[in-house]
């Protein structure tokens, strides 16, 4: 019985870590997109060509 409870706890810990990593990547990606947009605006204001993929 204790092994089963420990297994469930371990699974929940791994799930929590995976969710935290996923949320961190989504937030990091959003921050990078925001910074990229600011840099594109600055380049346009200076008359530099922009390269968008």
Residues 3-44 have pLDDT tens digits of 999 999 999 999 999 999 999 888 888 888 888 888 888 877
Structure tokens that stand for 9 in this block: 């706890």
Q: How far is Cα 53 from Cα 5, in angstroms, rounded to an integer?
A: 49
Q: Per-residue pLDDT for 53 more than 60?
A: no
Q: How far apart are CA 38 and CA 33, in angstroms?
A: 9
């Amino acid at each position: 019985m204790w092994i089963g409870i420990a297994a469930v706890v371990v699974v929940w810990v791994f799930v929590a870590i995976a969710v935290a990593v996923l949320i961190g990547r989504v937030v990091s990606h959003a921050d990078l997109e925001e910074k990229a947009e600011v840099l594109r605006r600055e380049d346009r204001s200076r008359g530099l060509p922009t390269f968008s993929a």
